[in-house]
């Protein structure tokens, strides 16, 4: 009671002294609110398309304000059909009528509303909503999203290209082409004769004997050819180029430790995903055995996966697939957490990220001090016809749009020309097996 009286006296005295200015400010604020009422979510739809054989999913949020809408990437190629109902049946009824002003609040309440969380389908659905809200806020402000996140730390994002081939000489040739185009960082992958290696051609010819007729893999052969490839590339391509290699979680933990240790002599920019998320405990062994830089995380969905690797400084690059982690908002937090521990970012940027998702990647690249590198996949013609305003690649760098929001317009008529195609596995992946028939991670 006493305190309230005291406050009343205080406010009263202040109000008297500042009265004209306070009143003016209040009036201005009120006028601004009247001119720009908070947009409300009027509709949420899901745009699906398959340009050049890659299934992409984008969420569109439409507001009750004329011409104000936004797009967010929700692409989960291998289970694409499940993301649409997650958005339409759960997030849409939950969000209709809510204001688009409160991005963090919406993210937290969507995340919590399923009680069980951190899975790829629901995270992608939330990402679609989250990124669409950032797009809307940027359009409202008349600014690209990178401005809303504090502005640029650098002009553009340094990228790496993919050089792949069935044989070593094909990889070297492909890398030389990339370098001639202006890439300074090259990811190299070579095929395994007659087998299903990652990131390179699968040739049936010369297939080793196996107890099955499925795509075949042999870990020892992968270790031998992988290390040989790094040796050849370093020798043939020279010291100036940065080399990267994706191990795609295919080796046993101990083989991975050995591979990283052996690769140290080739001065890698990084080795990617040497272990699967199920074997995170082995990262400490890699660290204790060598100084090869390690990138990890495209399969991560949960803070329980990235937190220990970052805070214990067990990796050098965090490589999350932004929509799998739940969108731009959580990815920004990952970047900030990583900065505190000297870990840099290398957001996953393959073909199965929509251009909206790539714009979110490059936005993070520009606003995060601890940016490391950006994986780049060129946008094919059909993708560019559907997504107008894709990030531009020039001189080795990826550039963000200067237009408001993500700066991308989705042409839904063009998208409808490239619907999801029926396929035997409905976009999912098949299996890869060892000689004896054991199924392995892809
Ligand atoms: C990469 C990745 C991709 C994934 C693909 C899965 O580093 O680019 O490993 O090629 O395999 O995105 O759908
Ligand atoms: Mg990878």
Q: How far apart (Å, rounded) are the C-alpha atoms in residues 334 and 388? A: 29
Whether the pLDDT of residue 294 is over 50: the answer is yes
Q: How far apart (Å, rounded) are the C-alpha atoms in residues 286 and 264? A: 11
Give me ligand 1 centre to Cα 198, in Å.
Answer: 9
Q: How far apart (Å, rounded) are the C-alpha atoms in residues 57 and 54? A: 10
Q: Ligand 1: which atom is nearest the Cα of residue 187?
A: 7
Residue in the structure block whose two tokens are 């196996």: 210
**Looking at residue 137, what is its pLDDT?**
98
Percent of the chain with pLDDT over 70: 91
- Cβ(248) – ligand 1 distance below 6 Å: yes
**Looking at residue 199, what is its pLDDT?**
78
Whether the pLDDT of residue 9 is over 60: the answer is no
Range of the domain at 295: 148-405
Whether the pLDDT of residue 401 is over 60: the answer is yes
Q: Which H helix or E strand runs over 331?
A: helix 328-340
**Looking at residue 335, what is its pLDDT?**
98
Q: Which residue's alpha carbon is nearest to atom 8 within ligand 1?
A: 350
- Cβ(352) – ligand 1 distance below 6 Å: yes
Whether the pLDDT of residue 202 is over 90: the answer is no
Q: Is 75 part of a structural domain of the chain?
A: no
The answer to which of 332-341, 366-375, 426-435 has the lowest mean pLDDT is 426-435
Give me ligand 1 centre to Cα 122, in Å.
Answer: 20
- Cβ(350) – ligand 1 distance below 6 Å: yes
Q: Is 117 part of a structural domain of the chain?
A: no
**Of 11 and 387, which is predicted with more confidence?**
387
Q: Which residue's alpha carbon is nearest to atom 13 within ligand 1?
A: 352
Active site residue 198: yes
Give me ligand 1 centre to Cα 202, in Å.
Answer: 16
Q: Active site residue: 162, 245, 248, 358, which one?
A: 248
Q: Residue 200 — pLDDT band, cuts 50, 70, 90?
A: confident
What mean pLDDT do residues 80-84 have? 97
Q: Is 218 part of a structural domain of the chain?
A: yes
Q: Which residue's alpha carbon is nearest to atom 4 within ligand 1?
A: 350
**Of 35 and 46, which is predicted with more confidence?**
46
Active site residue 321: no
- Cβ(77) – ligand 1 distance below 6 Å: yes
Whether the pLDDT of residue 193 is over 60: the answer is yes
Domain count across the chain: 1
Q: Residue 6 — pLDDT band, cuts 50, 70, 90?
A: very low
Q: Residue 37 — pLDDT band, cuts 50, 70, 90?
A: confident
Could you report the per-residue pLDDT of 23-32, keeping only the tens digit for each?
Answer: 566 666 566 5
For residue 58, list its beta bridge partners: 47, 73
Q: Residue 386 — pLDDT band, cuts 50, 70, 90?
A: very high
Q: Ligand 1: which atom is nearest the Cα of residue 78?
A: 13
Which of 53, 162, 248 gets mutated to test ligand 1 (max ligand atoms within 8 A of its CB)?
248
**Looking at residue 5, what is its pLDDT?**
40
Q: Residue 18 — pLDDT band, cuts 50, 70, 90?
A: low
pTM for the model: 0.92
**Looking at residue 205, what is its pLDDT?**
72
Whether the CB-CB separation of 189 and 232 falls below 8 Å is answered with no
**What's the CATH number where 357 sits?**
3.20.20.120
| Mean pLDDT of all residues belonging to the chain | 93
Q: Is 48 part of a structural domain of the chain?
A: no
Whether the CB-CB separation of 92 and 77 falls below 8 Å is answered with no
Reduce the DSSP state of residue 231 to 3 states and report it.
Answer: helix
On the CB side of 103, CA atoms within 13 Å amount to: 23
**Of 34 and 76, which is predicted with more confidence?**
76
Whether the pLDDT of residue 440 is over 60: the answer is yes
Q: Is 125 part of a structural domain of the chain?
A: no
Q: Is 279 part of a structural domain of the chain?
A: yes
Whether the pLDDT of residue 36 is over 80: the answer is no
**Looking at residue 124, what is its pLDDT?**
98
Q: Residue 8 — pLDDT band, cuts 50, 70, 90?
A: very low
**Of 255 and 199, which is predicted with more confidence?**
255
Give me ligand 1 centre to Cα 140, in Å.
Answer: 34
What mean pLDDT do residues 104-122 have? 98
Sequence-distant (≥ 6) Cβ neighbours of residue 389 within 8 angstroms = 355, 401, 403, 406, 407, 408, 409
Could you report the per-residue pLDDT of 261-292, keeping only the tens digit for each?
Answer: 999 999 999 999 999 999 999 999 999 999 99
């Amino acid at each position: 009671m006493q305190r309230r009286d005291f406050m009343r006296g205080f406010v009263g005295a202040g109000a008297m002294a500042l009265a004209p200015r306070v009143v003016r400010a209040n009036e201005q604020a009120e006028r601004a609110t009247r001119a720009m009422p908070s947009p409300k979510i009027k509709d949420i739809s899901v745009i699906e398309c398959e340009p050049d054989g890659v299934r992409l999913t984008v969420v569109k949020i439409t507001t009750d304000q004329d011409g104000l809408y936004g797009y967010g990437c929700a692409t989960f190629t291998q289970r694409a059909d499940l993301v649409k109902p997650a958005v339409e049946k759960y997030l849409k009824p939950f969000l209709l009528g809510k204001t688009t002003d409160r991005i963090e609040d919406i993210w937290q309440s969507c995340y919590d509303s399923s009680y069980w969380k951190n899975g790829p389908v629901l995270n992608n659905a939330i990402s679609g909503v989250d990124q669409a809200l950032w797009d809307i806020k940027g359009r409202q402000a008349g600014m690209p999203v990178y401005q809303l996140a504090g502005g640029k730390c650098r002009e553009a994002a340094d990228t790496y290209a993919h050089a792949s081939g069935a044989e070593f000489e094909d990889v070297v040739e492909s890398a030389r082409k990339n370098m001639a185009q202006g890439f300074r960082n090259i990811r190299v992958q070579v095929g395994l004769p007659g087998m299903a290696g990652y990131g390179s051609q699968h040739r049936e010819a010369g297939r080793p004997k196996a107890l099955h007729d499925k795509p075949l893999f042999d870990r020892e052969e992968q270790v031998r050819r992988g290390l040989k490839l790094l040796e050849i590339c370093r020798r043939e391509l020279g010291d100036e180029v940065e080399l990267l290699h994706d191990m795609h979680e295919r080796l046993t933990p101990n083989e991975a430790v050995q591979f990283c240790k052996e690769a140290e002599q080739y001065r890698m920019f990084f080795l990617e995903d040497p272990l699967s998320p199920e074997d995170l405990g082995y990262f400490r062994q890699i660290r204790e055995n060598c100084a090869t830089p390690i990138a990890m995380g495209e399969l991560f969905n949960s803070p329980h996966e990235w937190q220990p690797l970052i805070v214990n400084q067990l990796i050098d690059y965090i490589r999350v697939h932004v929509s799998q982690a739940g969108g731009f908002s959580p990815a920004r937090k990952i970047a900030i957490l990583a900065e505190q521990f000297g870990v840099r970012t290398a957001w996953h940027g393959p073909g199965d990220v929509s251009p909206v998702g790539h714009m979110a990647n490059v936005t993070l690249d520009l606003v995060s001090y601890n940016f490391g590198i950006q994986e780049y996949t060129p946008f094919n013609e059909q993708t560019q016809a559907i997504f107008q305003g894709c990030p531009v690649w020039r001189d080795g760098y990826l550039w963000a749009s200067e237009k408001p929001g993500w700066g991308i317009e989705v042409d839904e008529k063009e998208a409808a020309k490239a619907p999801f195609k029926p396929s035997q596995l409905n976009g999912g992946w098949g299996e890869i097996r060892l000689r004896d028939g054991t199924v392995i991670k892809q």
